[in-house]
Amino acid sequence: MLPCVELARLGDSGVRMATVYNYSLCVCVAVYVGVIMLICTMSLVLNIVVLNLYHRSPQTHNMPNWVRVVSIALNTFLRIKLNVTL
């Protein structure tokens, strides 16, 4: 509401066009910064998850049964042969 009031107050001058361009540029920059922040946050979270899963070992963590069932089902769906006896 405030930008509309400000633009109406300026009248018919070149200042109005400059204000419209500046306002549009600010909105575009704000959206760009927001998207970049979101992408960086998602990248950081996914890196943490992958590193956490990579550094697990049988000595430190036990695999739940549901993970075993899902991984076996995924292997059969993707037609990957398991060389390990479970």
Mind listing the pLDDT tens digit for each residue in 10-67? Answer: 666 666 667 777 878 888 899 999 999 999 999 999 999 999 988 888 888 888 899 8
The reported pLDDT for the residue numbered 15 is: 64
Residue 72 lies in a domain: no
Q: By C-alpha distance, which of 64, 57, 86, 51 is closest to 76?
A: 86
pTM (predicted TM-score): 0.56
pLDDT band at 5 (very low <50, low <70, confident <90, very high): low
Residue 38 lies in a domain: yes
Question: How far is it, in rounded angstroms, from Cα 24 to Cα 29?
Answer: 9
Q: Which domain holds residue 50?
A: 2-58
Residue 74 lies in a domain: no
Total of domains in the chain: 1
Residue 44 lies in a domain: yes
Residue 80 lies in a domain: no
Residue 48 lies in a domain: yes
